[in-house]
Amino acid sequence: MTPMTLGIFSILLYLISAALLLKDSFKNTIIKSSLAPAWLAVVLHFSYTFSLFVQKQSLNFSLFSTASIISSLIALLLLLASLNKPVEKLGLAIFPIASIALLISLLFPNQEYDIQINSWQMSTHILSSIIAFSLLNIAALQAILLAFQEQQLRKHPPKRFIQSLPPLETMESLLFQMIATGILFLTVSLISGFVFIEDLFAQHLAHKTFLAIVAWITFSALLVGKIKYGWRGQTAVKWTLAGFSLLLLAYFGSKIVLELILQRP
């Protein structure tokens, strides 16, 4: 299949899986088979990215292509987590987002941002950066769902969708597990960046690094607050969303300005 065909089939399967999850939510249950189309969608999504890499011997890190690559990894991490954790309903948000990101990358390919990856050092930095962002993206969505769940539980009766979620304590535990794992990969990303990238200022990476460091401090402070002071609930949600907002600016803020506004690499 051509890259375009792989992308189109992947989009359709993401949407089918999201529709099945929505149907399950109305029935107050989740059927694992509803995730089957998403598994195939992720395989096709990665196949699409790999086929482009084989054709050009480089990865396209334009704004839309990067969003597509990251969304595929977010979807994969969610599916892997769903094997032993009750996080399936996050697919209601993640799968449509992945399909939209992939569709935009299909409609607006950009050849000016191809990057040759010819060393394990660069591969380590890029891969750890993408995994960190993906995990903390899932954590941010989990935090939003947690805030909604907590707000709805004060109502009587709460909505059926909320009643089908795991207990609040389980949701909070999952949130902090994802944050801790995300911080681990973010640490690897920052260290590898300082060690392997020769000139941060020449490569326009100084502001990205600064924002990523502030995000790392924010997430780390949240974990310390959880362990030492028992932070939870709305406090955890606010710190999570603040940290992810910083990371979002670090990863995509400059790309939006450079590519969409100034229209230059």
- CA atoms of 24 and 33, how far apart (whole Å): 11
Q: How many CA atoms lie within 13 A of 83 on its CB side?
A: 7
The whole-number average pLDDT for the span 36-63 is: 83
Residue 13: exposed, middle, or buried by beta-carbon count in 10 A (0-12, 13-18, 19+)? buried
pLDDT, position 137: 93
SS3 185: helix
Residue range 188-195: average pLDDT? 86
Q: Count of CB atoms within 10 A of residue 55's CB?
A: 9
Q: What is the dihedral of CA 104, 105, 111, 113, to 10 degrees?
A: 100
In the prediction, which pLDDT does 218 show? 97
- Residue with the bigger pLDDT between 97 and 127: it is 97
- What is the per-residue pLDDT for 76? 94
Per residue in 104-161, pLDDT (tens digit) is 999 887 655 556 556 667 778 888 988 999 999 999 999 998 888 888 777 766 666 6
Average pLDDT across the chain, whole number: 84
- Higher-scoring residue by pLDDT: 115, 3: 3
pLDDT recorded at residue 94: 93
Run of H or E residues at 127? helix 120-153
Q: What pLDDT, on a 0 to 100 scale, did the predictor assign at position 192?
A: 85
Nearest residue to 173 via CA among 236, 256, 110, 93: 236
Q: Is the pLDDT of residue 7 over 70?
A: yes
Per-residue confidence band for 207, with pLDDT thresholds at 50, 70 and 90: confident
Q: What is the mean pLDDT of residues 27-43?
A: 86
Give the up-direction half-sphere exposure of residue 38: CA atoms within 13 A in the CB hemisphere. Answer: 33
Q: 64, 104 in Cβ contact below 8 A?
A: yes
214 contacts 182 by C-beta, under 8 angstroms = no
Residue 25: which of 172, 169, 167, 159 has the closest Cα? 159
pLDDT for residue 86 is more than 80: yes
Percent of the chain with pLDDT over 90: 43
